């Protein structure tokens, strides 16, 4: 029987709700055009960027509520996907059982085969046994085939449910991305872990340069161009050689602010991280598409930058494009456009409030309680027109695609 294709979590990576249409670049030329249009719109709307404290609070609350709702839906889709996978396994198991009894099925299908099987007995005891087996196998086979058919029906139903859910969430995602554009034009940042509009524009400019360096033309299809210019891989690994999960992606109470909000990444650390230089690795082969390093103000001090040093890497895993982001880095060892493998030491983990004093939000609050790696994964390409950290618009829970151990359970191998 033809196996049902593995269903990806594309719908899990969605974020929902509004009405302004945003173009989606199909070629590299389209991407350049969208960037130019967005930069022009951004310049025209700079005077409208500042929101009152009340408006900013309302905007954050609106997006937070939507993301929490999507988080619940993501879990439902993951459960549904797992159900389908389990049904596929049950179907495969029953296929094997059916194959095992095919030869016995012939025993009950006709008088000649029945007699041939029964009179093939070595003695009378064996003869009686074969008669009983024939009767039992006939009954069991009918039940097995019925269960097999029901599993196929259930599988088809679940697949249809998931397909409908994917379409529904896809529409919600598009609507929210439109809303994000509207809000991002009025406020530079909506949360401490989002990129500023200027950082997004720079990130897209860097990515365009990478495509051009890879030989992509303005008329080339963007998805095909990205796939061809990104090293292929087949799986994700842990970004630390030894480590543990200290905080899951998903809705939580922020340990610094105490506010219940969406946590878009997974927090990873290990013993002694505050004062020991632990290497950070890419979760898959890829290309470094953007780096956000620290900047100094006029007095020579580092500007506040929640998340500190950051690296963004683009991956092609089993033909699907992902972007991974690494935050709270003490040191960066790679450059934009560099091709990296899973074994490349891209950075040193940081985030110690005692030493990384720049890792603060705009109000001077520390963004971390201790050294750790904040890892994000997205299916979103860097498009400045999406605003609010464009890669964030397609975020996926890292624990959904990487099999991390339970909270605070240490691993000693990267895979």
**pLDDT tens, 383-399?**
544 444 455 667 788 99
Q: Does residue 82 share a domain with residue 209?
A: no
* 208: CATH: 2.70.70.10
Average pLDDT over residues 239-248: 96
Residue 248, pLDDT score: 94
Residue 17, pLDDT score: 28
Is 324 domain-assigned?
yes
Check: CB of residue 375 under 8 Å from CB of residue 193.
Answer: no
- Asked if pLDDT for residue 108 goes beyond 70, the answer is no
DSSP state, 116? Answer: H
**Which 3 state secondary structure label does DSSP give 4?**
coil
Q: Does residue 127 share a domain with residue 30?
A: no
Average pLDDT over residues 404-411: 96
- Asked if pLDDT for residue 140 goes beyond 70, the answer is no
User: For the segment 314-336, what is each residue's pLDDT rounded down to a tens digit?
Assistant: 999 998 889 999 999 999 999 99
Residue 269, pLDDT score: 97
Q: Does residue 367 share a domain with residue 255?
A: yes
Is 316 domain-assigned?
yes
Q: Does residue 302 share a domain with residue 163?
A: no
Is 6 domain-assigned?
no
For every residue of 133-174, DSSP letters joined together read HHHHHHHHHHHHHHHHHHHHHHHHHHHHHHHHHHHHHHHHHH
Higher-scoring residue by pLDDT: 138, 219: 219
CB neighbour list of residue 171: distance below 8 Å, 6 or more residues apart: none
**Which 3 state secondary structure label does DSSP give 18?**
coil
Q: Does residue 261 share a domain with residue 249?
A: yes
Is 127 domain-assigned?
yes
Q: Does residue 237 share a domain with residue 134?
A: no
Number of domains in the chain: 2
Q: Does residue 354 share a domain with residue 211?
A: yes
Query: Among all chains, which residue has been given the structure tokens 């299809």?
Result: 221
pTM listed for this prediction: 0.67
Q: Does residue 385 share a domain with residue 238?
A: yes
Is 379 domain-assigned?
yes
Is 1 domain-assigned?
no
Residue 377, pLDDT score: 92
**2-16, 46-60, 90-104, 350-364: least confidently modelled range:** 2-16
User: For the segment 190-234, what is each residue's pLDDT rounded down to a tens digit?
Assistant: 455 566 667 778 878 888 888 888 888 899 887 788 888 789 999
Domain that holds residue 236: 24-49+188-401
* Number of CB atoms found within 10 A of residue 339's CB: 14
Give me the percent of the chain exceeding a pLDDT of 70.
63
CB neighbour list of residue 391: distance below 8 Å, 6 or more residues apart: 312, 323, 325, 376, 378, 380, 381, 382
Q: Does residue 327 share a domain with residue 216?
A: yes
- How far is residue 144's CA from residue 95's CA, in Å, rounded to a whole number? 9
* The domain boundary residue, chosen from 147, 169, 184: 184
Residue 208, pLDDT score: 86
């Amino acid at each position: 029987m033809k196996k049902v294709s593995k269903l990806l979590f594309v719908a899990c990576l969605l974020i929902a709700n509004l009405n302004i249409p945003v173009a989606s670049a199909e070629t590299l030329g389209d991407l350049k055009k969208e960037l130019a249009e967005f930069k022009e719109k951004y310049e025209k709307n700079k005077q409208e960027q500042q929101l009152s404290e009340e408006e900013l609070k309302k905007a954050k609350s609106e997006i937070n509520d939507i993301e929490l709702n999507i988080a619940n839906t993501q879990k439902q889709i993951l459960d549904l996907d797992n159900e389908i996978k389990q049904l596929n396994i049950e179907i495969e198991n029953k296929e094997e059982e059916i194959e095992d009894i095919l030869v016995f099925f012939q025993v009950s299908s006709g008088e000649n085969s029945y007699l041939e099987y029964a009179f093939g007995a070595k003695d009378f005891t064996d003869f009686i046994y074969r008669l009983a087996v024939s009767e039992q196998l006939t009954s069991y086979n009918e039940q097995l085939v019925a269960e097999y058919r029901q599993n196929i029906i259930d599988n088809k139903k679940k697949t249809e449910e998931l397909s409908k859910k994917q379409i529904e969430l896809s529409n919600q995602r598009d609507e929210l991305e439109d809303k994000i554009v509207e809000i991002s034009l009025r406020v530079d940042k909506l949360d401490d872990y989002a990129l500023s509009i200027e950082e997004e524009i720079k990130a897209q400019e860097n990515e365009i340069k990478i495509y051009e360096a890879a030989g992509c033309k303005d008329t080339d299809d963007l998805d095909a161009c990205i796939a061809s210019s990104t090293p292929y891989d087949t799986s994700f690994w842990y970004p630390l050689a030894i480590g543990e999960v200290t905080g899951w992606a998903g809705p939580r109470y922020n340990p610094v602010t105490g506010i219940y909000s969406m946590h878009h990444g997974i927090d990873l650390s290990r013993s002694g991280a505050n004062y020991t230089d632990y290497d950070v690795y890419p979760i898959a082969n890829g290309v470094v598409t953007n780096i956000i390093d620290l900047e100094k103000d006029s007095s020579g001090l580092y500007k506040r930058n929640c998340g500190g040093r950051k690296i963004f890497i683009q991956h092609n895993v089993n033909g699907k494009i992902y972007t991974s982001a690494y935050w709270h880095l003490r040191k960066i060892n790679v450059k934009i456009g560099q091709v990296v493998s899973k074994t490349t030491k891209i950075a040193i983990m940081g985030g110690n409030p005692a030493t990384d004093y720049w890792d603060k939000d705009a109000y001077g609050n520390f963004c971390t309680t201790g050294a750790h790696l904040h890892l994000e994964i997205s299916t979103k390409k860097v498009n400045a027109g999406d605003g609010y950290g464009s890669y964030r618009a397609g975020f996926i829970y890292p624990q959904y695609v990487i099999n991390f151990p339970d909270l605070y359970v240490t691993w000693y191998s990267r895979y």
